[in-house]
A and B are shown apart, each in its own frame.
Chain A
Amino acid sequence: MTVLVLLDHEAGAIRQASRSAVTAALTLGDVHALVTGDASVAAAAAKIPGVAQVLHATDAGSAHDLAEPLAALIAALAGDYSHVVAASGATAKNVLPRAAALLDVQPIPDVVSILDADSFVRPIYAGSALATVKSSDAKKVLTVRAAHFDPAPAEGGNAAVRDVTAPEAPVLSEFVSIERSKSERPELDSARIVVSGGRGMQNEENFKLLNPLADRLGAAIGASRAAVDAGFVPNDYQVGQTGKIVAPELYIAVGISGAIQHLAGMKDSKVIVAINKDPEAPIFQVADYGLVADLFEALPQIEAALDSAE
């Protein structure tokens, strides 16, 4: 069996989450990778060990990952493949269901475990239950949760690159602009450590108090929905059922109560630390280490403790 994996990229590099999708796909068969973007992206994809061939989508619509041409391309290519796989991210969630409908296939989202070629485990109800499903479709279209598969290395492979273009079709959509949140920190969904703030941070200015700790730990910064809704940070910081799903080695929740919707996005983290002044906050039920304290006193103390320990 050969599997087609849609790889997502950022600034010319293949995203770590997509390299996790390669690992997942390799359990199903040989892997061909589909990439958009310029030639450097295709070259980066060709270096991932395990990728046997790179298909490089070169037309204008594909350049901005517009759903209509990209889904049409995937549907056109799918004939040669048993499975179409991608990491669960904004691009894949946008494009893969569209491609699946064109193929008359019911896609399987957010797979956390692959049992065999037809059977998969996926969370439902904000991660409160795990469903094992068996697909009767001839072709399987799935997205995988990157946190549950180790990323394939970025270097070491040497695959051939072949150009592909979407089938001719009326242009239905156009790219206007993109506004990227600027950040020097690691990407939220692949960071080893995540420091997240919630409503308890009180305002945008105070939220920045998390920066020194995150910088020191090399951590990404996340947020609860309350913090995003209140305008402390942009939307793409949101961790939870409707934001990003993360599973870092260490997740530090600061001033986050721990609503079901937030836990859905981080409860697979290896070690969870909660800092909250309310001893009854639900976050303490999932925290490995909980500290009942005022975060405004605790944060500087943590930095001081890290300083003195060095």
Chain B
Amino acid sequence: MKVLVPVKRVVDHNVKIRVKSDGSGVDVANVKMSMNPFDEISVEEALRLKEAGVASEVIVVSIGPAKVEDVLRTALAMGADRAILVETEDKTEPLAVAKILKGVAEAERPGLIIAGKQAIDDDSNQTGQMLSALLGWPQATFASKLEIAEGAAIVTREVDGGLQVIGVTLPAVVTTDLRLNSPRYASLPNIMKAKKKPLERKTPADFGVDTTPRLKVLKTEEPEVRKAGIKVKSVAELVEKLKTHAGLI
């Protein structure tokens, strides 16, 4: 069975972003970009399935400008077999991404799609769910454990107040949570080898997808800055402040 893993190139999670002064968006020029952390977990899980003999091939796919090739090469260096780059300069919303991925899935016919639970830039947490809806497949979101057995996946999910286990028939879409695994690092020889692995280029039009955004961003602004606080000198002063000044305890 093939496993398809969508990956996204995002502003590195350690970067403190800045909002453009004209309110048109976030300044992402000249900031460090990397693979969305949840997607690294997805790639890792797919590779483990391959190493366990469950998956035959791991295909990574990314949608965006030509530069997203970086993150596809990173995934190839981790061990993915080949990559698909769907090139577009448009900003793609989760609905459009899901439609493009549906096209890729119909062409590749994977037995499983493993996506991250959310991208740390738009924080949407939607694409996997929308993709499974469009394909008519079951979904298992926020996975912290994944087992494949005879045409089904048994998935432990992180839900409010605990852990839920569900079974889904394959093919299915699984979205990964932080606790699923610890992604491996790509070694230098593998980074070199990854440069020669196949990378196919497509466009949204190849899948007949219109990427026009449904949400128009009217403005982007900095959140209100918190008023500077004070450092108290002792526990007694802290408790006193909370009691009298803030009236909280």
Contact = CB atoms under 8 A, between A and B. Distances in A.
A130 B144 contact: no
Interface residues of B, number: 80
A94 B231 contact: no
12 contacts: A71-B129, A91-B160, A94-B129, A98-B139, A100-B126, A109-B124, A130-B223, A131-B219, A235-B144, A241-B123, A272-B226, A273-B242
Contact of A174 (B142, B167, B213, B239): B167
Contacts of A261: 13
Interface string A172-191: 11111111110000010100
B232 interface: yes
Interface string A111-123: 0000000010001
A288 B230 contact: yes
Nearest to B248: A250
Given A93-B125, A261-B13, 4 more contacts: A89-B160, A105-B95, A109-B126, A250-B246
A129 B94 CA distance: 19
A71 B215 CA distance: 22
B207 interface: no
Interface in B37-96: 93-95
B243 interface: yes
Given A102-B133, A129-B17, A241-B120, A178 B162 contact: yes
Interface of A: 8, 10, 64, 66-68, 71, 89-91, 93-102, 104-110, 119, 123-137, 172-181, 187, 189, 193, 217, 225, 228-229, 234-236, 241-242, 244, 249-250, 260-261, 267, 271-273, 279, 284, 286-293, 298, 301-302, 305-306, 309
Contacts of A90: 142, 157-160
Contact of B239 (A244, A279, A305): A305
A184 B17 CA distance: 39
A127 B223 contact: yes
A172 B158 contact: no
A193 B248 contact: yes
Contact of A106 (B95, B236, B243): B95
Q: Which 4 A-B pairs have the closest CB atoms?
A: A172-B138, A101-B133, A101-B130, A106-B214
B190 interface: no
A291 B123 contact: no
Main secondary structure of the interface of B (DSSP, over half): mixed
Contacts of B158: 90, 235-236
A291 B133 contact: no
B218 A132 contact: yes
Given A123-B123, A306-B249, A288 B229 contact: yes
Contacts of A288: 226-227, 229-230, 246
B164 interface: yes
Nearest to A297: B235
A115 to B, nearest CB: 9
Contacts, number: 257
B95 A68 contact: no
A302 B133 contact: no
Given A101-B130, A132-B219, A286 B226 contact: yes
B230 A125 contact: no
A173 B167 contact: yes
B19 interface: yes
Nearest to B222: A129
B164 A177 contact: yes
Contact of B133 (A98, A244, A287): A98
B137 to A, nearest CB: 7
Contacts of B105: none
B168 interface: yes
Contact of A125 (B121, B142, B166, B229): B121
Nearest to A107: B126
B168 A173 contact: yes
A71 B136 CA distance: 11
A210 to B, nearest CB: 15
Nearest to A192: B248
B215 A108 contact: yes
Contact of B95 (A93, A101, A128, A271): A101
Contacts of A244: 160
A42 B248 CA distance: 35
Contact of A291 (B98, B166, B177, B235): B235
Most chain B beta carbons < 10 A, residue from A71, A102, A107, A123: A107
A234 to B, nearest CB: 7
B197 interface: no
Given A242-B117, A261-B13, A267 B226 contact: yes
A290 B154 contact: no
